[in-house]
Structure 1
């Protein structure tokens, strides 16, 4: 279920982007904040529940992936607030706003977790790349740069996951 929230810019800032350009950026940042927090929690779900012959390797990989994604939650939220907005980053807010599908509870086998994460990363990386373009269109180079950093990391993580199913 996707919830939309009205984004207000309650805090003044001297960042030289007009309010008309900052408001859609705060909305975009909050949307990607929801996805990033959700992706982090789904990676941890895989980390906690993986079973099978590659348990240790995947358990360790999933923890590494989560650790690399986690800092982006804070960076994205802080950018939204720097633009004069409010970061909507609680677990319930993220769950209500994330564009990622729910993680399958029946995933146990390592390869099932890998496949589920590949699907979510593919959606996530595509939405982050679109966010780069939107930030550029709104003349917000700092947000575009942040999203580019996220994109580089998430693309590499997707590559790591896909390498587990490629021959």
Structure 2
């Protein structure tokens, strides 16, 4: 690192005739008139060393990595409060304004809201998980999974928005709070840290399967009390089934390729639930 710095200093000395007057005045003593004098090599080198040391050296008393997040979190003393109580998780407040009557009665309305709210929660959970995996995907399939997960994230966002708006349309508030997702989602949390490609394929194959089955049950629950909601949920089920297929297809076994995923999984077959070896043709006698 020292040689390049000295070489650069020498070049700057050779180019002293084109240095600006301001730089020359900075180098000249304060007691003498300003002259077009080039800074010495030592002055230039000293400036460079200071800049490097300032960048590389941490301030005294800096906190370790384990305390940095806490320091940021406590950096503001602003208290965030509300006069309105938090309520339960989820909270679906019924509007007192005129709304279109579903004609399903109170029990039918409760079923409709519960189906919509739970679907919203699961879609939001999947949104968060797809973005987490999108950022941290690693391995041979990093780039295609990076792009596919972004596409899924955007699609799930649209579905979540549609379901939330349907809740408002039937006359209740939508609950998309983080604590509602944590407390009521049936989809487990995805692991933290870097995620290898085989791990992502297995996790989302199973997560989409679970949510798809939940949405299918919601369709059955609402088809009589609110056909419009049921139809919207069918669109969501169609999208989730597509996303699930796009994940499992990358580990789909065929008659010509067992496709166990060993090349993605440290030379070990990928453990994908429900995956069976293709039927073997009986040997001829």
CA shift for structure 1 position 137: 3.2
Query: How many Å separate the matches in 2 of 1:33 and 1:112?
Result: 25
Query: How many Å separate the matches in 2 of 1:38 and 1:155?
Result: 16
Gaps (5+ residues) in structure 1?
none
**Aligned residue runs from structure 1 range 14-93, under 5 A:** 14-18=99-103, 19-20=105-106, 21-93=108-180
Structure richer in helix, relative to its length: 1
Quick check: 2:116–2:163 contact (8 Å CA) kept in 1? yes
Question: For residue 151 of structure 1, what is the aligned residue in structure 2?
Answer: 237
Query: How many Å separate the matches in 1 of 2:179 and 2:228?
Result: 28
Q: Secondary structure of the residue that 2:138 maps to in structure 1?
A: coil
Question: For residue 210 of structure 2, what is the aligned residue in structure 1?
Answer: 123
CA shift for structure 1 position 106: 5.5
Quick check: 2:94–2:172 contact (8 Å CA) kept in 1? yes
Quick check: 2:120–2:163 contact (8 Å CA) kept in 1? yes
Give the structure with higher Rg (CA). 2
Query: How many Å separate the matches in 1 of 2:137 and 2:96?
Result: 44
Gaps (5+ residues) in structure 2?
1-87, 254-285
Give the TM-score taking structure 1 as reference length.
Answer: 0.90
CA spacing shift, 1:146–1:165, aligned 2, 3 Å: same
Give the TM-score taking structure 2 as reference length.
Answer: 0.54
User: Do structure 1's residue 141 and structure 2's residue 218 form an aligned pair?
Assistant: no
Quick check: 1:128–1:151 contact (8 Å CA) kept in 2? yes
Quick check: 1:34–1:95 contact (8 Å CA) kept in 2? no
Quick check: 1:46–1:113 contact (8 Å CA) kept in 2? yes
Identify the structure with bigger relative contact order (alpha carbons < 8 Å, sequence gap 6+). 1
Q: Secondary structure of the residue that 1:12 maps to in structure 2?
A: coil
**In terms of mean alpha carbon deviation, does 85-94 or 74-83 score higher?**
85-94
Q: Secondary structure of the residue that 1:88 maps to in structure 2?
A: coil
Query: How many Å separate the matches in 2 of 1:16 and 1:10?
Result: 12
